[in-house]
Amino acid sequence: MAESTDPAPYRFTYQDIHRTVRSIAERIEASLWSPDLIVAIGSGGFIPARMLRTFLDRPILAVGVSYYDDEDRPTDNPRTVQWIEEAERKLGGKRILLVDEVDDSRSTLAYCVRELLRHAPAEVAVAVLHDKRKPKREELPPEVTRYWKGLEVEDRWIKYPWDAPDIDEHDALARGGDRP
Amino acid sequence: MAESTDPAPYRFTYQDIHRTVRSIAERIEASLWSPDLIVAIGSGGFIPARMLRTFLDRPILAVGVSYYDDEDRPTDNPRTVQWIEEAERKLGGKRILLVDEVDDSRSTLAYCVRELLRHAPAEVAVAVLHDKRKPKREELPPEVTRYWKGLEVEDRWIKYPWDAPDIDEHDALARGGDRP
């Protein structure tokens, strides 16, 4: 049970997320850099990546990451559950934009960047909707020199619209809730 | 330029889509059937599949389908651009729910079902947000006996929220627009 001193969670609507993705896309375009393809980290990155595609018009490849081992035991080490067939052919020499919903401990992002770098891309850049202000468990590899965040937020629980059983209730709570 | 006699497009909000996905999930659960995993057809199926995961709590694998050949020439034949590594191990004996946003000509769905059947799953079922009432170019293989549609709609252009450059404009037009 959460203690009453816990800060309220952030709640974002789909429209909030869509506008945040648009602002990321505008900053990417203003940087004069552009990706050859988007890699979405599943499943939290699927929706932001699909929205981003509307603005950047690049194909999406998806990768799933699990924190469970083969016997379904929880583990601290991320493990890819879907990786990209013919990865070398598709990733070699390409500018990749890796997309996830939140940069929390940074472990998942760092793991995925390392996996991508094994396939000799031209570059791996990172975009996240929300970056939590907190000590990170891992740093991104030094090869990552471009990192776009939609918003920097406090270290609170974030409730995303796609996780809502009842979207109307979620939206009502989001309208009355704290904003970063 | 579209002729003035063309019917207006359908426009759906994210909330419309979320509620449609919930209604699909409720009917799947009421059927007492459940998938072992969700396969999302990219990129239109990514957002519906991620929403569906909230209700069905199953992992998502993603597959990309392209209608361009290796030289970027348009083709009538769909071609997978990302398939599932270790597919046999993951799909063999499994109950798969294949998800896309719209059943238009049915070609993409038929192609993906055939691809999935090659990996000896226990079953392939299909869920789409919208099924267009129109003559289909292909039928689904007879192995498919479960097919859930969120809504049956006329054969009009559908504007999904994730394709909107300006989500507020899209939502305003959706509120004033035709409903199926």
User: Could you report the per-residue pLDDT of A133-144, keeping only the tens digit for each?
Assistant: 999 999 999 999
Contact of A65 with A41, CB cutoff 8 Å: yes
**Residue B103 annotated to the active site:** no
Which of A15, A47, A84 has the CB atom closest to B82's CB atom?
A84
Statement: B10-169 belongs to CATH 3.40.50.2020:
yes
Phi and psi angles of residue B122, each rounded to the nearest 5 degrees, phi first: -70, -35
Task: Report chain B's mean pLDDT, rounded to a whole number.
Answer: 89
Measured CA distances, B142 to A89, A139, B32, B130, B132 (Å)? 35, 51, 21, 21, 20
Which of B51, B60, B82 has the CB atom closest to A85's CB atom?
B82
The two tokens of residue B47 are: 């957002």
What does the pLDDT read at residue A74? 75
Helices A14-30 and B167-176 pack at an angle, to 10 degrees, of: 140
Look at the block and give the residue holding tokens 């409730």. A159
- A81-97: average pLDDT: 70
A128: three-class secondary structure by DSSP: strand
Going across the sheet that includes B60-68, the strands are B74-82, B60-68, B37-42, B95-103, B123-132, B147-153
pLDDT band at B16 (very low <50, low <70, confident <90, very high): very high
The percentage of chain B sitting over the pLDDT mark of 90, rounded to a whole number, equals 70
Query: Does the pLDDT at position B90 exceed 80?
Result: no
What does the pLDDT read at residue B54? 97
What does the pLDDT read at residue A119? 85
Helices B14-30 and A14-30 pack at an angle, to 10 degrees, of: 130
Selected catalytic residue, list A16, A100, A103, A104: A104
Q: In this predicted model, what pLDDT tens digit does every residue of B132-166 receive, in sequence order?
A: 999 999 999 999 999 999 999 999 999 999 999 99
A113: three-class secondary structure by DSSP: helix
Q: What angle do CA B15, B16, B17 make, to 5 degrees?
A: 90
Phi and psi angles of residue A139, each rounded to the nearest 5 degrees, phi first: -100, 155
Set of chain A residues whose Cβ sits within 8 Å of the Cβ of B168: 15
CB atoms near residue B165 (< 10 Å): 11
Instruction: Give the pTM.
Output: 0.91
User: Residue A115 class from Cβ within 10 Å (0-12 exposed, 13-18 middle, 19+ buried)?
Assistant: buried
H/E element, A140: none
Dihedral sign for Cα B11, B17, B19, B21, please. positive
How far is Cα A106 from Cα A115, in angstroms, rounded to an integer?
Answer: 14
Selected catalytic residue, list B16, B104, B131, B171: B104
- B170-174: average pLDDT: 97
ipTM (interface pTM): 0.90
- A102-127: average pLDDT: 93
End-to-end CA distance of chain A: 24
What does the pLDDT read at residue B134? 97
What does the pLDDT read at residue B79? 66
CB atoms near residue A5 (< 10 Å): 5
The percentage of chain A sitting over the pLDDT mark of 70, rounded to a whole number, equals 86
The percentage of chain B sitting over the pLDDT mark of 70, rounded to a whole number, equals 86
CB contact under 8 A, B59 and A81: yes
Set of chain B residues whose Cβ sits within 8 Å of the Cβ of A40: 46, 62
User: Residue A33 class from Cβ within 10 Å (0-12 exposed, 13-18 middle, 19+ buried)?
Assistant: middle
- B58-73: average pLDDT: 76
Task: Report chain A's mean pLDDT, rounded to a whole number.
Answer: 89
CB–CB contacts below 8 A, A to B: 102
What does the pLDDT read at residue B78? 67
Q: Are strands A147-153 and A123-132 parallel, antiparallel or unpaired?
A: parallel
B39: three-class secondary structure by DSSP: strand
The lowest-confidence range among A51-55, B13-17, B56-60, B97-101 is B56-60
Choose among A126, A119, A75, A135: nearest CA to A97: A126
Q: In this predicted model, what pLDDT tens digit does every residue of B124-134 receive, in sequence order?
A: 999 999 999 99
Q: In this predicted model, what pLDDT tens digit does every residue of A3-47 receive, in sequence order?
A: 556 889 999 999 999 999 999 999 999 999 999 999 999 889 999
Query: Does the pLDDT at position B30 exceed 50?
Result: yes
Q: In this predicted model, what pLDDT tens digit does every residue of A69-85 receive, in sequence order?
A: 667 677 776 666 555 55
What does the pLDDT read at residue B86? 47
